[in-house]
Every structure is written in structure tokens, then in C-alpha cells.
């Protein structure tokens, strides 16, 4: 049974599950495969960097190819484009461009912890400047028709939580209709734990919905983050990549696996075929190995396949392997 068929046969009793934007990981092929497996309500794209100028439409199409198909994946799951930058004027101008392309919503990135991004005054680096956050959101909101939501994603801060509530309030005051919070600071990166209790404090400080994010690897984690934070919706990133049926498990309110290795196997080939259409062949095997390394946390067969392909650099050879017999864990 396909992901959409499974979802159609179930009634969601929990809040929405959102696929997180993850540069170099949750790209268009990954979004396509994960949403077709099922259990995801909407996605946020990898960030589109804004500097001093108007983006080329072709650049947007390349970053978010779903924009040519009603801003939805093949499963019909909406994809919201995300902008990253610090120039107030050009963030607004580029938001207007996205709106003219009928984007379903526009998300703003104030949470990326990457050093290269932060050095250029982007992502989480702006969490020391709440007034600038407010100005950017206000510029985007003013440039965007009222029916298109403007949302934002932030972390708890750059190095500490001294300005967490001020930053969240600045985003809401600027006009963000929804704020996703990754419950760690920039310097904490992805090291556990995530501070879910801060999500509840932020919810109390703003008058817009807050989406919880950080350290959700299982249905039990999903239950606990909602309980601790009081948030309805939960954004999940690496947890969905590592466990592609996590959205379906949450949909069923169950910790039991939905997708066996034999069911996952065809999706690996599908993902690799799509990846080869988007990147040069010498880089394609690395993208598959990246996913296999993460899948190995749940599927011993993925670890075995990763080991067998560890030194393989030929994309054609990888394709032949994926089109061959089912890889066992032996």
C-alpha cells in the first residue's frame, strides 16, 4: 500500500507533522520520496539565499522544483519556500516574487547554524538582533498578499537564551503568523538534549501558533514534545530521514514499524534515479550513502548496503546494484 493510500485509510488523531528544511539532506528527491511514503502534512524547502538583488526565477525553480507543480510534491503535499538573508529590502522584494509565483506560504530562516551562513549574517546569527528580525518579517509581510502566510523558524538563541523571548516576540510583532522553534541554541548545534520546556515559554510569550522542533526520533518523542511544549504541530527533520515511516507511525499513534526493508528497497532506487537527474554523477553516490548511513540506525540491511557501496564512486554501478536483488543484512 502506498503512502497516500495508507493516509487515506487513516484519520489523523494527532497534530500536523512537518518535514524540516535541511540543507543538503531534505532536497527535492528526499521530499518526494518521504511524502509519498506518507504521514507528512507539509514541507519547508531548503533555504534560498537572498543577498542584494532579486532572485532569478530559474534559481527558485531549481531549489524548489515543486513550484512548477502547484508547490506540491507528487503526493500532493504542499512545499513552502524558505528565504534566508538579512537585507530588509531584498527579503521583501524576493518574497513578493515568490508570491507572484503563487507560493502557498513564505518561510524565513533565522535558525540555520552553519558557520558559512552565520559568517555572512544569516540564519541564527541574527538572533542577537531582535529589531532586525522584526524589520525583516515586517518587510516580507508588507510585500506579500494577506492570504499568503508569512512564517519564521528560529533557534533559542546564538550562544544562550537571554534573548529568546524577545526574538520570538519580534517575529510575531513583525507579522509572522506561525513560528517554528528548534529547541537548542546555535552553539548547541544538534547535540542532545533539546530544551522542550522553552517551547512552552515561547508559546506563552506570543499570540501566534508555535511549531515544536528538535530531537524527535520516535512516536514516543512526538508524544512527549507535544506534552511538554503544548504545541499542536511538530516539525521533524533527521528523524524522518532516519526512519522514513515515522510520519505513518505517528499517524497511527503507534511505535510499531510500518515500512519493512523489502518495502523501503524500491524507494532507494527511486531516490537515486531522481538524485542523478539533479546532481552530477560523481556526487550522486555520496547522496545515497548519506541516506543509507542514517537509515542504518533502523535497518541493519541499510548498514550492509552502505558497507558494500562504501568505496563505490560510479553512479552506473550503484544504479545496477539498486536494480538488482534485494540487499539482505547478511
Is residue 256 assigned to a domain?
Answer: no
Q: Are residues 167 and 272 in the same domain?
A: no
Is residue 290 assigned to a domain?
Answer: yes
Q: Are residues 245 and 283 in the same domain?
A: no
Q: Which residues contact 79 (CB under 8 A, 6 or more apart)?
A: 31, 42, 43, 44, 45, 64, 66, 67, 71, 72, 73, 104
pLDDT 10s digits, 274-292: 999 999 999 999 999 999 9
pLDDT at 330 over 50: no
Contact 80, 106 (CB under 8 A): yes
Identify the CA nearest to 299 among candidates 250, 272, 273, 264.
264
Could you count the other beta carbons within 10 Å of the beta carbon of residue 155? 26
Residue where a domain terminates, one of 230, 251, 272:
251
pLDDT at 8: 47
Q: Which residue has the cell 515568490?
A: 98
Averaged pLDDT for residues 106-121:
87
Catalytic residue numbers, as ranges: 112
- We report the CATH number of the domain holding residue 125 as 3.20.20.70
Contact 113, 138 (CB under 8 A): no
Q: What are phi and psi of 202, to 5 degrees?
A: -70, -40
- The parent domain of residue 12 ranges over 3-251
Q: Are residues 25 and 145 in the same domain?
A: yes
Is residue 226 assigned to a domain?
Answer: yes
H-helix or E-strand spanning residue 109: strand 106-110
pLDDT at 7 over 80: no
| Whole-angstrom distance, CA of residue 140 vs CA of residue 317 | 46
| Residues shown for the chain | 330
Contact 230, 203 (CB under 8 A): yes
SS3 state of residue 35: helix
Burial class (CB within 10 angstroms; exposed 0-12, middle 13-18, buried 19+) of 275? buried
pLDDT 10s digits, 24-52: 999 999 999 999 999 999 999 999 999 98
Q: Are residues 127 and 23 in the same domain?
A: yes
Q: Are residues 246 and 133 in the same domain?
A: yes
Q: What are phi and psi of 219, to 5 degrees?
A: -65, -35
Residue where a domain terminates, one of 251, 285, 310:
251
Is residue 216 assigned to a domain?
Answer: yes
pLDDT 10s digits, 148-202: 999 999 999 999 999 999 999 999 999 999 999 999 999 999 999 999 999 999 9
Lowest mean pLDDT among 116-120, 129-133, 170-174, 228-232: 116-120
Is residue 328 assigned to a domain?
Answer: no
Q: Give the side-chain half-sphere CA count within 13 A for 79.
A: 32
Q: Are residues 217 and 305 in the same domain?
A: no
Mean pLDDT of the chain: 94
Identify the CA nearest to 94 among candidates 130, 48, 127.
48
Is residue 121 assigned to a domain?
Answer: yes
- We report the CATH number of the domain holding residue 316 as 1.20.225
Q: What is the DSSP letter of 307?
A: H
- Confidence label for 325 from pLDDT (cuts 50, 70 and 90): confident
Cell triple for 300: 541493519
Q: What is the DSSP letter of 262?
A: H
Q: Are residues 104 and 11 in the same domain?
A: yes
Q: Are residues 167 and 298 in the same domain?
A: no
Q: Are residues 300 and 228 in the same domain?
A: no
pLDDT at 126: 96
Q: Are residues 81 and 168 in the same domain?
A: yes
Q: Are residues 229 and 281 in the same domain?
A: no
Q: Are residues 140 and 105 in the same domain?
A: yes
Contact 5, 258 (CB under 8 A): no
From residue 239, give the alpha-carbon distance in Å to each of 154, 181, 220, 233, 262: 19, 16, 12, 15, 20
Domains contained in the chain, number: 2
pTM for the model stands at: 0.94
Please give the residue that has the higher pLDDT: either 2 or 204.
Answer: 204
Amino acid at each position: 500500500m502506498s503512502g497516500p493510500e495508507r493516509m487515506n485509510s487513516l484519520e489523523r488523531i494527532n497534530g500536523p507533522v512537518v518535514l524540516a528544511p535541511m540543507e543538503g539532506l531534505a532536497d527535492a528527491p528526499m521530499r518526494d520520496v518521504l511524502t509519498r511514503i506518507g504521514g507528512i502534512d507539509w514541507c519547508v524547502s531548503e533555504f534560498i539565499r537572498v543577498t542584494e538583488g532579486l532572485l532569478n526565477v530559474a534559481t527558485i525553480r531549481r531549489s524548489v522544483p515543486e513550484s512548477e507543480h502547484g508547490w506540491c510534491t507528487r503526493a500532493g503535499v504542499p512545499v513552502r519556500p524558505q528565504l534566508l538573508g538579512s537585507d530588509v529590502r531584498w527579503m521583501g522584494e524576493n518574497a513578493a516574487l515568490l508570491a507572484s509565483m503563487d507560493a502557498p506560504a513564505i518561510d524565513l530562516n533565522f535558525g540555520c547554524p552553519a558557520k558559512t551562513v552565520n559568517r555572512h549574517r544569516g540564519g541564527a546569527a541574527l538572533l542577537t538582533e531582535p529589531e532586525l528580525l522584526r524589520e525583516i518579517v515586517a518587510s516580507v509581510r508588507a510585500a506579500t498578499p494577506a492570504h499568503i502566510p508569512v512564517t519564521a523558524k528560529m533557534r533559542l538563541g546564538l550562544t544562550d537564551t537571554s534573548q529568546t523571548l524577545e526574538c520570538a516576540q519580534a517575529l510575531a510583532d513583525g507579522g509572522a503568523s506561525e513560528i517554528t522553534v528548534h529547541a537548542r541554541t546555535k552553539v548547541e548545534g544538534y547535540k542532545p538534549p533539546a530544551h522542550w520546556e522553552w517551547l512552552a515559554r515561547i508559546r506563552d510569550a506570543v499570540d501566534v501558533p508555535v511549531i515544536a522542533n528538535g530531537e524527535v526520533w520516535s512516536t514516543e518523542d512526538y508524544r512527549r514534545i507535544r506534552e511538554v511544549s503544548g504545541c499542536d504541530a511538530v516539525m521533524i527533520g533527521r528523524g524522518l530521514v532516519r526512519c522514513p515511516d515515522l510520519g505513518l507511525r505517528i499517524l497511527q499513534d503507534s511505535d510499531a514499524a510500518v515500512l519493512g526493508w523489502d518495502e523501503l528497497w524500491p524507494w532507494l532506487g527511486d531516490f537515486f534515479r531522481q538524485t542523478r537527474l539533479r546532481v552530477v554523477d560523481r556526487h550522486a553516490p555520496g547522496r545515497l550513502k548519506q541516506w543509507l548511513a542514517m537509515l542504518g540506525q533502523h535497518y541493519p540491511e541499510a548498514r550492509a548496503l552502505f558497507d558494500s557501496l562504501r568505496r563505490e564512486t560510479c553512479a552506473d554501478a550503484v544504479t545496477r546494484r539498486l536494480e538488482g536483488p534485494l540487499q539482505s543484512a547478511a
